[in-house]
Structure 1
Amino acid sequence: MSGPVGQPTRGTTGTNRLRRNDRWIAVSEALRKAADPLVVDLGYGASGVTAFELAQRLRQRRADAEVIGLELDPERVATARSQLQDVHAGRTPFASDLPVSFERGGFEVPLPGGGRRAVIRAMNVLRQYDEADVADAWRLVASRLAPGGMLFEGTCDEVGRIASWVDVASDGLPVRFTISLRLADLEHPGIVAERLPKALIHRNVPGERVHELLTALDREWDRAAPLSTFGPVQRWLAAVTTLRAQGIPVQGTKSRWRLGELTVPWATVAPAS
């Protein structure tokens, strides 16, 4: 390939915007079992802060984790490298030895010296693409993963309170879908419809599986309203537990649900056609 593959993003980013996805990656099997825990923050935006935060959180789980930020725009790469100099000089809240670097690249996910990646994170990257482009993008990016590696692709709001993503395996096929919401002051979980991944955002209509899931989640959230007296976490736990009892294959345990997460196999939300 002669150059970076992909379309420029808006570049919008901000401190702690991707914290929900960070903590998901930090406990992922792809990172935990990786022989070489190399993680790519693909399309990190106009600032390198998401790569710094990701590296900081991953080090709490894997001290040998390393993060490489990739962007199409050489000016964004230059900006992030300048920020990294401040990190190394101890002029930021981040550890001065933070294992982060920045390179120019896109969906081809280049790495100096070649090699494979344990994890590739691509949040808010596919929003401007057509739904028909998603599968090809998944396959291309995922082909750069090491065996057992994982691509995490999705969307979140500007302050990181509403997020969702898809786990895509190294064969380019989606494995599971996760919703992650800040429960405090949450009116309805269905607000995540505004921040669904590109593969699903146009599918939140009657007759589609993701619409059925969000409708059921809103329904059980409403039914659990009396538990608000004990806080939004208890209300969320009740709603998720009921969905599971109704046969929806909710994954994970209460320790993850307490974070405002709901994870289901991809087949539960896969587009009908």
Structure 2
Amino acid sequence: MPSRQRPVGTVTRGTTNPNRLRRCDRWIAGPQAWRLRRSVTPPVIVDLGYGASPTTAVELHDRLRRVRPDVQVVGIEIDPARVAAGKPLERDGLSFRLGGFEVPLDSGARPSVVRAFNVLRQYPEDEVPAAWALVQERLAPDGLLVDGTCDEIGRRAAWVAVDARGPVSLTLSLRMGGLERPSDVAERLPKSLIHRNVPGEPVHAYLADLDRAWARHAPQSSWGARQRFLATVAEVRERWPLLDGPARWRLGEVTVDWAAVAPREG
């Protein structure tokens, strides 16, 4: 039965738009798809804090059914009115319930992925570790929390992947059309990093290095922004521990080891 404890968290603004989280969904259904396929039972995926509209949970279910037809997507919201708005859209493999970072699921259920987008961005930075820890306790053994932020229509996104042991990676995902420089994503960094984009912090150095390489490879623009981005990231890989390759870079996406960009102590 669902937990009867009071939901942990606060109501957020709830702003959302159709297709806003497509970049993260593509990553979950791509490099992280093994987490769904490995599950012996139907994998549970949580859309935590989906907002005023249940659209992103519906889209997540549609996309992940291509990976595992029996996937169970659960939209969790702390606002009862938002849960009520989702109820008419429930179907086999898609449900909505009241809750927060305690991730209330049926007894024994542990999610393979918890996607929390544009949620912690609205919290104080010092509350992030406790929220992560609470979700981590609920994850399946190979589970992952995806704590991310994106702009209003999903052109720029960034997310931290957190497993049971702690943060694993930072992913940046950018629409290359109209991109002036990779650091345009800076205002969409997750809460754990957004205030650390200052000189002396690793994430600032990482974005600056991407920008410098982007500027050096300006001539590649003759063949399109994708070729310029590929050349940019290939150069940066010589100095930073990237965890992906050209197949993801072609999508405007790049993932770096968290240890390389983690905030400095103090």
Query: TM-score surpassing 0.5?
Result: yes
Q: Is the 8 A contact 1:118 1:150 kept in 2?
A: yes
Alignment match of 1:203 (pick from 176, 196, 199): 196
The CA deviation at 1:132 is: 1.0
Q: What residue identity is the alignment partner of 2:17? A: G
* 1:155-209: CA deviation from partner (whole Å, max 9, x where unpaired): 00000000000110023x1011100000111111101110000000000000000
SS at match of 2:120: coil
Amino acid at match of 1:127: R
1:68 equivalent in alignment to 2:61: no
Match of 1:7 among 10, 27, 35: 10
Distance 1:251 1:239 in 2: 15
2:160 aligned counterpart, secondary structure: strand
Aligned structure 1 segments of 4 or more residues deviating by more than 3 angstroms: none
Residue 45 (structure 2) aligned to one of 39, 58, 61: 39
| 1:215 corresponds to | 208
What is the match of residue 58 of structure 2? 52
Query: Is the 1:34–1:149 Cα contact (8 Å) retained in structure 2?
Result: no
Question: Per-residue displacement from partner, 1:14-67 (whole Å, max 9, x unpaired)?
Answer: 100000000111120322323331100000001111001101111111112110
The alignment partner of 1:146 has SS state of coil
d(CA) in 1 for partners of 2:129, 2:113: 18
Give the 3-state SS of the residue equivalent to 1:147 in structure 2.
coil
TM-score by structure 2 length?
Answer: 0.94
In the alignment, structure 2 segments of 5+ residues that lack a partner are: none
1:156 aligned to 150, 160, 182, which one? 150
Q: Which amino acid is the alignment partner of residue 227 of structure 1?
A: Q
Distance 1:183 1:32 in 2: 31
- For the residues of structure 2 that align with 1:115 and 1:205, how far apart are their CA atoms? 41
Distance 1:105 1:241 in 2: 42
1:248 maps to amino acid: W
Q: Match of 2:229, as an amino acid?
A: W
Matched with 1:267 is 259
C-alpha distance in 2, partners of 1:136/1:149?
18
Q: CA deviation at 1:270?
A: 0.2
Secondary structure at the aligned position of 1:68 is classed as strand
Match in the other structure for 1:242 = 235
Q: Percent identity?
A: 57
- Give the RMSD, CA atoms, in angstroms: 1.2
Alignment of 1:22 onto 2:25: yes
Whole-angstrom CA distance in 2 between matches of 1:188 and 1:52: 32
Aligned partner of residue 24 in structure 2, secondary structure: helix
1:79 aligns to 2:71 (yes or no): no
